[in-house]
Amino acid sequence: MAPEQPGGDSMTSEVIEDEKQFYSKAKTYWKEVPPTVDGMLGGYGHISGIDISSSRKFLQRFLRVGRKGRRGPCPPRLLLGAAGSLCRQEGPNRTGTSCALDCGAGIGRITKRLLLPLFGVVDMVDVTEDFLVKARTYLGEEGKRVRNYFCCGLQDFSPEPSSYDVIWIQWVIGHLTDQHLAEFLRRCRLGLRPNGIIVIKDNMAQEGVILDDVDSSVCRDLAVVHRIIHSAGLSLLAQERQENLPEEIYHVYSLALR
């Protein structure tokens, strides 16, 4: 049976004229970006602390006791709040804290501040080799617990099966076409350990799919992302809008999947 086609009414195929150029232009763009936190965040380095703090609270609701803290409680019912947050109690089978994968990791901002404090080992994958080279010094002493530095575009990357408790994918899904994103999520699903989760955290458009010709990426609305998630055979466990970000940027949502 052929897999369901992702996207629905709005698809990247409508805004991307040349798929090969879409990927090559993005790769060239990131080669010119300085390997700093400010570079990773497009000049918004000052929001890193806010981002990491919210991500930690979001992630800990699913985890067993982590390396340096306890998981936060999750309400025993489905909630949808004013900030667009929803959470579903998953019972006693919490996500482990042995190994995480940071996708679109850059210099390791998320690995350093979010994943290494919570997980025993972390793998990083990014398309830009210079970022991964910088990560080896940026991560400091704790970087010894980074097991692998994979230099690869996510459209070509396959996580090792049954290897990861958490696969974290932040501010990078816009660099994949709908089809490649769905295929990547299917591979990520196979890469999860028992009770593992995938987290997508990214910009969400108000409506449809918007092309950014500068960095060669797209921004999808939540409905489009939900359809791609469903086409990959994944279910939405929790969704939350990031608060306290500058008004001029896109809304940012975290989505936990399994």
189 known member of a binding site: no
What pLDDT shows up at residue 15?
95
- Are 123 and 146 in contact by the 8 Å Cβ rule? The answer is yes
Distance CA 123, CA 151 (A): 11
79 known member of a binding site: no
DSSP string over 71-132 = PPP--SS-EE-TTS-EE---TT--B--SEEEEET-TTTHHIIIIITTT-SEEEEEES-HHHH
109 known member of a binding site: yes
Q: Which residues of the chain have pLDDT under 50?
A: 1-8, 66-91
Residue 131 falls inside a structural domain: yes
H-type alpha helices, 152-233: 178-191, 222-231
What pLDDT shows up at residue 92?
66
154 known member of a binding site: yes
Please give the tally of structural domains in the chain.
1
Q: What share of the chain is helix, strand, coil (3-state, %, to 5)?
A: 35, 25, 40
Q: Could you tell me the CA-to-CA distances from 87 to 80, 98, 160, 236 in Å, in that order?
A: 7, 23, 28, 9
Residue 107 falls inside a structural domain: yes
Residue 5 falls inside a structural domain: no
Q: Domain range spanning residue 145?
A: 15-257
89 known member of a binding site: no
- Are 70 and 60 in contact by the 8 Å Cβ rule? The answer is yes
What pLDDT shows up at residue 74?
39
CATH number of the CATH domain containing 233: 3.40.50.150
Residue in the block written with tokens 């608060």: 243
